[in-house]
Chain A
């Protein structure tokens, strides 16, 4: 079953990974006859570039780092090639799945890695709590039916029946501006206690730090989007060889290779075009084109000088959009210690949901069978920000120590091998954009508005889709916008 497609994909990946070595050679023969510059070789920039090339435009993609994929990052130096960035491909990720198919990148079902199936055991205040005991536990702050739910489900369960959206696309409708409030304000008015808000939204948050900086409207858009993804069919997917195989294949399919090490310092509007000035190692290099797709995360875009300046409201939107810190520690497993430690609540799973700096611990099954190939400590919110204030070695040691304290059988049976800290990555600024309460109605449309010959892309500009599909959607919209203007 391992097919020509896979071999083809592997070959493309090899070609793409050779490109950084060619960066110096490229700088000596910079094309000056291009139509469109794309800034950023993540999924959004690459999708825009491919669509525009297919329509006959000459496109140059600029990438500040030495790799493509942006926040799609698969760790090929960890057993099973776990994802350190964008993880889940839903069946409804139409653009991403279609692009993978066109490029011969094989996808595989990854339901075994679905966080919902991870068999998490709760650990609060150093105490492991089995789900069967949780409803009657003194630490359970929830009321009514929510008491029977784990804390990582209770918040979403409370928000779902209050969702005012007809579908995942109307979250930016001005008519919903009155609903653009914090989850804290929404649920306090419905009787939620501070303790319930803290546990339901302040520990291992999927977004923001707590109920007070979490937007209810964004939460509902996430839920509406998820409903459509689930309706599209069963299963979640990943790319064979790791999700970054997809952006690598996209880059390899470009007629003009991605230019690496090309950090954009400034963008200036010209009459009927744009000029880009590079910084860093390539300071002094300038490039002109008829139009530009700016496919950087807002957090990275803040450092690019735009001339003329963007309209003040758009500039403020870009400056203020929060990004979530996510820190991950990946563990190589020497022994399946969880099978023997007698903690059966998760069905013999190593999965943990903790109030410690270890965050959540997930088993990762990177192979064809159910074997756990690595463990992932996925840390978010204030827990991630605390890890980000430590040295790499201290952060990895702390996470390992927290797990070993809760599950002593882990001692000597696993090793922390990689730390990935999205909040400290200046090219990302965080793992994903996270609209603050009140920002959606003010900023979510205008943040991605065309500015003359500069068109914006990136998941933070997506209109309906989320995650990798949001990036693909945004790149498509940007390409369409450029195609209409040049």
Chain B
């Protein structure tokens, strides 16, 4: 009986401690995992590593900070994106990923958009790491 009581105390302690952990170590792990999972929906249209071919969308290597519609050798850009004058900094990319045709009506990128800002940040984090 004493042992059971102790276990209960220990597990109660674990429950109490969880929110504190969540505020410190876990978010970064979660962001990386979340970004990796969410980025799976990019790969039907895009490659990410240097030297890989364009798909229906352009290879995204070096995309962060680059001018929009500027990937060498990709012929599929819409006039809308070419004329938008955008630079893919994190803020602009975030707005685009929220709903591509909202930011650039007429874009050929067919994508429902990512509703949650933290999910967009996770994808941009993944892209930053994986398109260097």
**Complex: how many Å from CA A98 to CA B37?**
18
Instruction: Flag whether A231 is at the interface (Cβ < 8 A).
Output: yes
What residues of B have a CB within 8 angstroms of the CB of A94 in the complex? 44-45, 55-57, 110
Given contacts A167-B107, A228-B108, A464-B112, contact A98 B44 (CB under 8 A): yes
Task: Pick from A95, A99, A167, A476: contact of B101, CB below 8 A.
Answer: A167
Closest residue of chain A to B107 (Cβ to Cβ) is A167
Task: Pick from B34, B55, B108, B111: contact of A464, CB below 8 A.
Answer: B111
Instruction: Flag whether A430 is at the interface (Cβ < 8 A).
Output: no
**Complex: how many Å from CA A279 to CA B112?**
36
What residues of B have a CB within 8 angstroms of the CB of A484 in the complex? 34, 37
What residues of A have a CB within 8 angstroms of the CB of B62 in the complex? none
Task: Pick from A51, A98, A166, A232: contact of B102, CB below 8 A.
Answer: A166
| Cβ-defined contact, B112 with A231, below 8 A | no
| Cβ-defined contact, B56 with A166, below 8 A | no
| Cβ-defined contact, B108 with A166, below 8 A | no
| Cβ-defined contact, A167 with B105, below 8 A | yes
Q: How many residues of A contact B (CB 8 A)?
A: 29
What residues of B have a CB within 8 angstroms of the CB of A464 in the complex? 110-112
| Cβ-defined contact, A166 with B105, below 8 A | yes
Closest residue of chain A to B99 (Cβ to Cβ) is A169
What residues of B have a CB within 8 angstroms of the CB of A231 in the complex? 78, 108
Instruction: Flag whether A103 is at the interface (Cβ < 8 A).
Output: no
**Complex: how many Å from CA A477 to CA B114?**
11
Instruction: Flag whether B87 is at the interface (Cβ < 8 A).
Output: no
| Interface set, chain B 98-123, CB cutoff 8 A to A | 99-102, 105-108, 110-113
Instruction: Flag whether A131 is at the interface (Cβ < 8 A).
Output: no
Instruction: Flag whether A203 is at the interface (Cβ < 8 A).
Output: no
Q: How many A-B contacts are there with CB distance less than 8 Å?
A: 72
Instruction: Flag whether A319 is at the interface (Cβ < 8 A).
Output: no
Closest residue of chain B to A169 (Cβ to Cβ) is B112
Is the contact region of chain B dominated by helix, strand, or loop, or is it mixed?
loop
**Complex: how many Å from CA A426 to CA B40?**
33
| Cβ-defined contact, A233 with B40, below 8 A | no
Q: What's the minimum C-beta distance from B60 to chain A, rounded to whole angstroms?
A: 14
| Cβ-defined contact, B113 with A169, below 8 A | yes
Q: What's the minimum C-beta distance from A235 to chain B, rounded to whole angstroms?
A: 13
**Complex: how many Å from CA A288 to CA B121?**
35
Given contacts A94-B45, A98-B55, contact A480 B108 (CB under 8 A): no
**Complex: how many Å from CA A201 to CA B55?**
38
Given contacts A92-B56, A98-B55, A484-B34, contact A168 B41 (CB under 8 A): no
The interface size bin for chain B is 20 to 34
| Cβ-defined contact, B56 with A232, below 8 A | yes
| Interface set, chain B 69-119, CB cutoff 8 A to A | 76, 78, 99-102, 105-108, 110-113
What residues of B have a CB within 8 angstroms of the CB of A92 in the complex? 56, 108, 110
Q: What's the minimum C-beta distance from A366 to chain B, rounded to whole angstroms?
A: 26
Q: What's the minimum C-beta distance from B74 to chain A, rounded to whole angstroms?
A: 13
Q: What's the minimum C-beta distance from B67 to chain A, rounded to whole angstroms?
A: 21
Q: What's the minimum C-beta distance from A220 to chain B, rounded to whole angstroms?
A: 13
Instruction: Flag whether A465 is at the interface (Cβ < 8 A).
Output: yes
Closest residue of chain B to A165 (Cβ to Cβ) is B101
**Complex: how many Å from CA A484 to CA B32?**
12
Instruction: Flag whether A483 is at the interface (Cβ < 8 A).
Output: yes
Instruction: Flag whether B31 is at the interface (Cβ < 8 A).
Output: no
Instruction: Flag whether B38 is at the interface (Cβ < 8 A).
Output: yes
Indicate with 1 or 0, residue by residue over B1-23, a CB within 8 angstroms of chain A CB atoms.
00000000000000000000000
What residues of B have a CB within 8 angstroms of the CB of A169 in the complex? 99-101, 110-113
Given contacts A169-B113, A228-B108, A232-B76, contact A476 B40 (CB under 8 A): yes
**Complex: how many Å from CA A168 to CA B112?**
8
Instruction: Flag whether A112 is at the interface (Cβ < 8 A).
Output: no
Q: What are 23 A-B pairs at a CB distance below 8 A?
A: A55-B40, A94-B44, A94-B55, A94-B56, A97-B56, A98-B43, A98-B45, A99-B44, A167-B99, A167-B100, A167-B101, A167-B106, A169-B100, A169-B110, A170-B99, A170-B101, A232-B56, A464-B111, A477-B41, A479-B40, A483-B37, A484-B34, A484-B37
Q: 9 smallest A-B Cβ distances: which pairs? A: A167-B101, A463-B112, A98-B44, A95-B44, A94-B44, A166-B105, A94-B56, A94-B45, A483-B37
**Known A169-B100, A483-B40; further 17 A-B contacts with Cβ < 8 A:** A92-B108, A94-B44, A98-B43, A98-B44, A166-B101, A166-B105, A167-B99, A167-B100, A167-B106, A167-B107, A168-B110, A169-B111, A170-B99, A170-B101, A464-B111, A465-B110, A480-B40
